[in-house]
Amino acid sequence: MEQDLMRELEAKCIQEQPPECVASCPVHVDARKMAAAVAKGDFDAALAVYAKAVAFPSVVSRICDAPCQTACKRREAGDPIRIRNLERACVEHGTRQQRSVFLRKRDKEVAVVGGGLSGLCAAAELGRKGYQVTLYEKSDRPGGSLLALSPEKLPPELLETDLKVLEPLPVTIRLNELVGRGGVPFSDITERYDAVYVAAGSAEGFEELGETDETTLATRIEKVFAGGRMRLKNCSPIAAVGDGRRAAISIDRFLQGVSLASGREREGAFKTELYTDTERIEPLAAVSPSGPDGAYTKEEAQKEAQRCIQCQCLECVKGCAFLAHYKSYPKRYVREVYNNLTIVMGMRHGNEMINSCSLCGQCAAICPNGLNMGEVCLQARREMVRTKKMPPSAHDFALRDLAHSNSDAYFLARNQTGHEKSRYVFFPGCQLGASAPGLVKRAYADLSSRLAGGVGLMLGCCGVIADWAGRERLFEETVEKLTGAWASLGEPEVIAACPTCFTVFKAHYPRMRVRGIWDVLSKTGLPENFVDGKGRVLAVQDACTTRHAPDVQDGVRRLAEKMGYTLEEPRYAREITQCCGYGGLTDYANPNVGREMAARCAGQSGSDYLTYCINCRDSILREDSRAVHLLELVYPADSAKETRVAGYSLRRENREGLRAQLLREIWGEEALESGYAVSVTLDEQVEKDVEERMILKEDIARAVAAAEESGNKILDKATGRFVASHKSGAVTYWVWYTPENGGYRVHRAYSHRMDIEV
């Protein structure tokens, strides 16, 4: 991943954008953070947040015109937060912490003309930066237009309190000194000082300054800046504060000899890009202050602050267990992926995260800017494979499953008996045949009996496992293998039973014409023995691979409704459906995240689920929820055994048994089923352990057989059990076993990837 692309992707994530209340404030008071502190009753912390942005909090909290309150997103669900009341509550109930601040003394001197709010704020900001500031005020008291306010609106003692913030700063106030016409010549000021900020309250006498630049407040005279009512006739209090800060920044830049305008696009009020969903926020009215002058008690302020919804996006994180698992958000994840890929030496801590994504694209469908972490992680996987940085353990088990599906143990391509070529070919996929082989048999029997022109059968994997693992060459080889087999049947129209196979064929097999079995059944009609729903309510779990295939989603719903079912739409359905945990090989690379994904799917509704992906069905069933595959309603099973979740070893047995049975019963061919090297029986706990550890029964049998044949085994005299190991590929298997009834009982098994030298 190139750095420019990384930054482009990072920019799409808006989580770090400020909320509207902050963006609309000229000085960016962090009202969200302040409200969070007040909500917890921490008024000292809230005041610290407020005072960081506003030099004179007592004054501003009384007279601010509160653009933040107008912009507050809470207005979409009740009343906006009364932010100015909270600001006042911070001042009245909080204690400002006096901290000794190190001031870097600078040898530059700055003049501020005008002791109103804008001039005072500029003087305070410049003083904090270490500049020697002299403020000229024509009257006998600083404050300017603030002094004209009524005591009810602004008690005089509040101004006196706030002015004390200037005392430790290198700021000198010169009272009764008029600058300009009738007073100190302005030319004397510009000659004496290194920079000047004019905030005189009126442009009269300063016509020579001309127009001020809106971004920098620079005037026609190089080192002179002007703001407040000098440029805005109807300057609001918070705008005056904003101009004071803007002028201080410009003067600091000017005196340091750097660009005045660079990087200041978001200084002052601006339009934020942050998205916050308020659709599910309960509307609440604002808390009315009990004080006669609009003051909140501590309790009232706390209650009002608790109404703040703490605006943020995180819409993708709310919908995705993977994004939530790592407790961050895509902007940071993109950077982590980039850092992981650019490491030359050392640990790549991002490998697990990269391989835990289901690649389903839900985040892109939800994100206002379409940021797709799935695409980021897939490209990262491909790069890791190309550069040999992909850990073999990440997808080894899944790739072995792909190899099994496309080996002679399962792979099959046959025309319908009595036909030299096929008009259609049924492709159930690798997982349906593994989980519900009887369903595949019944579906094929129905299609081949009712569709004219011959219905062939292909068993195998479409190759998506290789694609998800980042194995581009292996995926190409799989496409070539399946395309060749399909062509040998006369290039028939493919009837896919798996929605993932359907979308993979559409995207990567350009010569194939593909239809979903749900579409075929809708047009040809249902078999006579389908299960009539009689109004039964089922919540639809859409396959994540159909996210951008509304025709598939609609076709499934039409067929289910035709069978008499009433369908419920969960919150995350259709384009924003959640992955069940199988997609992207999450279940294999990070089973914990896979289970979290399955739990989210299963927890969306209290109704039973309707799936049309067998992996979705199995994942939901593992969560002790009820789920049924669409085809189970079309072709009901003779036994409840077929509706159970099959473990890894049984899935392989099912595939091999299905192929052998079809060859024998339909085409009259005998197929050799691989079976096990020796007969092994697993203790109940061992069954659970090997399933969790992704150890196949055939691997255990192979280890026992190798030990018995070679004699390389150890007898544990305390238990009477043999201990043996066997390496297969990159994996070493350890087994504890005892002989039993001509076979062997296994008491313990585990695996690792270390080499053992004897």
Cα–Cα distance measured from residue 20 to residue 23, given in angstroms and rounded to the nearest whole number: 5
Residue 348 has a pLDDT of: 63
* Predicted pLDDT at 569: 98
Question: What value does the mean pLDDT take over residues 682-710?
Answer: 95
Percentage of residues in the chain with pLDDT exceeding 70? 98
Cα gap 83→35, rounded to integer Å? 8
Cα separation, 646 vs 698, in Å, equals 15
HEC string for 193-235: CCEEEECCCCCCCCHHHCCCCCCCCECCCCCEEECHHHCCCCC
29-56: pLDDT as tens digits: 999 999 999 999 999 999 999 999 999 9
**pLDDT band, very low/low/confident/very high, at 99 (cuts 50, 70, 90):** low
- The mean pLDDT value for 490-506 works out to 98
What single DSSP character describes residue 184?
Answer: B
Q: Is the pLDDT of residue 404 over 60?
A: yes
What does the pLDDT average to over 146-166? 94
The sign of the dihedral angle between the CA atoms of 336, 341, 346, 352 is positive
Supply the mean pLDDT for the chain.
94
Residue 282's pLDDT is what?
96
Closest CA to 527 of 449, 458, 440: 449
pLDDT category of residue 524 using cuts at 50, 70 and 90: very high
pLDDT for 537: 98
Where is 560: in which H helix or E strand?
A: helix 550-562
Q: Could you read off the pLDDT of 285-342 as tens digits, one per residue?
A: 999 999 878 899 999 999 999 999 999 999 999 999 999 999 999 999 999 999 989 8
Q: How confident is the model at residue 671 (pLDDT cuts 50, 70, 90)?
A: confident
Residue 728: pLDDT band (50, 70, 90) is confident
Q: Which residues contact 461 (CB under 8 A, 6 or more apart)?
A: 402, 405, 406, 429, 430, 478
Q: In whole angstroms, give the CA distance from residue 433 to residue 662.
A: 12
Higher-confidence residue of 96 and 532: namely 532
Query: Is pLDDT at 117 greater than 90 in this prediction?
Result: yes
Average pLDDT over residues 489-502: 98
* Higher per-residue pLDDT: 700 or 231: 700
The whole-number pLDDT of residue 306 equals 98
Distance of CA 656 to the CA centre of its chain: 39
Predicted pLDDT at 559 = 98
Taking the model in full, what pTM does it have? 0.90
Tokens of 680: 């092994």
Confidence band for 346, pLDDT divided at 50, 70 and 90:
low
Single-letter amino acid, residue 153:
K
Is 216 buried (19+), middle (13-18) or exposed (0-12) by CB count in 10 A? Answer: buried
Q: What confidence tens digit (pLDDT) does each residue in 598-613 have?
A: 999 999 999 999 999 9
3-state SS of 586-615 is HHHHCHHHHHHHHHHHHCCCCCEEEECCHH
- What are the pLDDT digits (tens) for 223-275? 999 999 888 777 899 999 999 999 999 999 999 999 999 999 999 999 999 99
Mean pLDDT of 586-590: 97
Structure tokens at 454: 């011959």
